[in-house]
Amino acid sequence: MTREMVEKAKENAKKSNYRNVEFRLGDIEKLPAGDGSIDVVMSNCVINLSPDKAKVFKESFRVLRPGGRLTISDIVLLKELPKFVKESIEAYVGCVSGAIIKREYLEKIEAAGFRDVRVIDETLFPIELIANDPTVKGMMDNLEIGLDEARGVASSVVSIKVSAVKPLTLAKR
């Protein structure tokens, strides 16, 4: 989040009289919170932008109190993207080329120590909606790809909502 986004979030929380939320500016790989000090970590389509997703999940695990919850909405892949999409700056900014295979994404959450990792929703992106997005149109033009090729890429990309829990007690390793 930018400073402006944090300020806007604080204003909205105040307007809505939410007293149990806090917004902090920081890096997703180094959260500005103490060990075991947070009840819930939420993320909305940001982790796919991090090159070190495992570190993001380990940090989330670190700051959560035992029994704390992780709730994520993010973009993942059902199959690998073509090289021209993976290397596209537009696709990265559009939250696509930074995404990883769904199974690998969920394994990274579990490897961080989370339990009860569940996909609670999964949505494909209809090509008709994607192709009408000005950012996607620009990307298609820059990459010189047609609707059929874009349809193939779009069938690789899904939005998932994931929940997970930090165990109440940690197993001895």
* Domain residue ranges of the chain, discontinuous segments joined by +: 31-165
The tally of CA atoms less than 13 A away on the side-chain side of residue 8 is 5
pLDDT truncated to tens, each residue of the chain (173 aa)? 689 988 999 999 999 999 888 888 888 899 999 999 999 999 888 898 888 999 999 999 999 999 999 999 998 989 887 776 777 666 666 667 788 999 999 999 999 999 999 999 998 866 666 666 666 666 677 777 766 776 667 778 888 999 999 999 876 55
Q: Are 50 and 28 in contact (CB under 8 A)?
A: yes
Q: How far is the first Cα of the chain from the last one, in angstroms, to the nearest whole number?
A: 35
pTM listed for this prediction: 0.81
| Range 31-165 has CATH code 3.40.50.150 | yes
